[in-house]
């Protein structure tokens, strides 16, 4: 393939494509929107067989990931800055349940 120049967001989306998660929960908000936009293209094109869930908040995105992970799915989400602060309650739940 050689060398390819990518933006940071495109590189993350490419890594997500290679992982091929079962469920991705997303709350589209800058600056991570570009990651989910690119990954949504992979889903729409059938490159990955991922269930893409758009939720109403960062808190809900991680809650959806926790639920799917508890059911045995490989999950992903993306966040940045204040989004991680909004996920703090659910972070403790995920770690206390020892979910991957």
Rg of the chain, C-alpha, whole Å = 14
Per-residue pLDDT, 29: 86
The ranges assigned to domains in the chain are: 8-96
Q: So what's the architecture of 8-96 in CATH?
A: 3-Layer(aba) Sandwich (3.40)
pLDDT in tens, 34-83: 999 999 999 999 999 999 999 999 999 999 999 999 999 999 999 988 88
Q: Answer yes or no: are the C-beta atoms of 26 and 78 closer than 8 Å.
A: yes
pTM of the model: 0.88
Task: Say whether pLDDT at 1 is over 80.
Answer: no
Integer Cα distance of 93 and 36 in angstroms: 24
Task: Give the CA dihedral 49, 51, 92, 29, nearest 10 degrees.
Answer: 110
Percent of the chain at pLDDT > 70 equals 99
């Amino acid at each position: 393939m050689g060398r390819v120049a990518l933006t940071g967001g495109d590189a993350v989306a490419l890594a997500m494509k290679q992982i091929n998660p079962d469920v991705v929960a997303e709350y589209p908000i800058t600056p991570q929107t570009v990651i989910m936009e690119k990954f949504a293209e992979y889903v729409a094109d059938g490159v990955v067989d991922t269930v893409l869930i758009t939720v109403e908040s960062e808190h809900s995105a991680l809650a959806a990931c926790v639920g799917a992970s508890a059911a045995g799915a490989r999950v992903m989400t993306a966040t940045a800055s204040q989004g991680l602060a909004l996920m703090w309650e659910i972070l403790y739940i995920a770690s206390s349940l020892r979910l991957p």
